[in-house]
């Protein structure tokens, strides 16, 4: 797996660390990677993303659950790259989501920055804090736990 010293993680490397693929891959690239600490995921949703057709016709808004998924994938990327957790042998899965606050809507064309920080690690459980910032404005924040689960 590639390893970047610049803190930038491009899409080809993201696909090495995460099992997700379009249309469910919700990170275009990541930056500011600091092993064991933090990274910032980035996504530019477009009107061509399928969920906008039905959520909502005439006023497309990115579903809140997908904004939380953006944080989850960014966190999984941080954990996988930090501890060399291969998607061929393990899956990083949510175990809890707490303190979720939705502050503003996200629209096609918005530029999303998704800062993630590791708060705590206990064995194969990791606690994260995350945000989705759309065009400089806080859209969503939460604290969540994830676990590395062996693939059978």
Per-residue model confidence as pLDDT tens digits over 42-91: 999 999 998 888 999 899 999 999 999 999 999 999 999 999 999 999 99
- The Cα 110–Cα 130 span in angstroms is 18
Average pLDDT over residues 131-138: 98
- Domains within the chain, CATH numbers bracketed: 11-150 (3.10.129.10)
Residue 111: which pLDDT band, with cuts at 50, 70 and 90? very high
Q: State how far the Cα of 91 lies from the Cα of 35, in Å rounded to an integer.
A: 19
The residue annotated as part of the active site, out of 20, 42, 55, 90, is 55
d(CA 116, CA 38): 5
Sequence-ordered list of residues with C-beta below 8 angstroms from that of 102, at least 6 positions apart, any chain: 64, 67, 139, 140
55 is catalytic: yes
What percent of the chain stands above pLDDT 90? 87
Smallest CA-to-CA distance from 52 within 63, 64, 65 is with: 63
């Amino acid at each position: 797996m590639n390893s970047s010293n610049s803190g930038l993680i491009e899409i080809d490397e993201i696909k090495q660390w995460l099992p997700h693929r379009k249309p469910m891959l919700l990170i275009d690239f990541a930056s500011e990677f600091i092993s064991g600490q933090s990274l910032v995921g980035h996504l530019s949703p477009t009107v061509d993303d399928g969920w906008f057709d039905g959520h909502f016709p005439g006023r497309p808004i990115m579903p809140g659950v997908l904004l939380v998924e953006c944080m989850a994938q960014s966190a999984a990327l941080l954990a996988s790259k930090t501890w060399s957790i291969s998607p061929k042998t393990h899956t990083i899965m949510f175990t809890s989501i707490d303190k979720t606050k939705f502050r503003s809507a996200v629209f096609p064309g918005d530029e999303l920055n998704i800062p993630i920080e590791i708060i705590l690690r206990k064995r194969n459980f990791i606690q994260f804090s995350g945000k989705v910032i759309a065009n400089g404005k806080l859209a969503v924040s939460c604290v969540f736990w994830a676990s590395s689960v062996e693939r059978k």
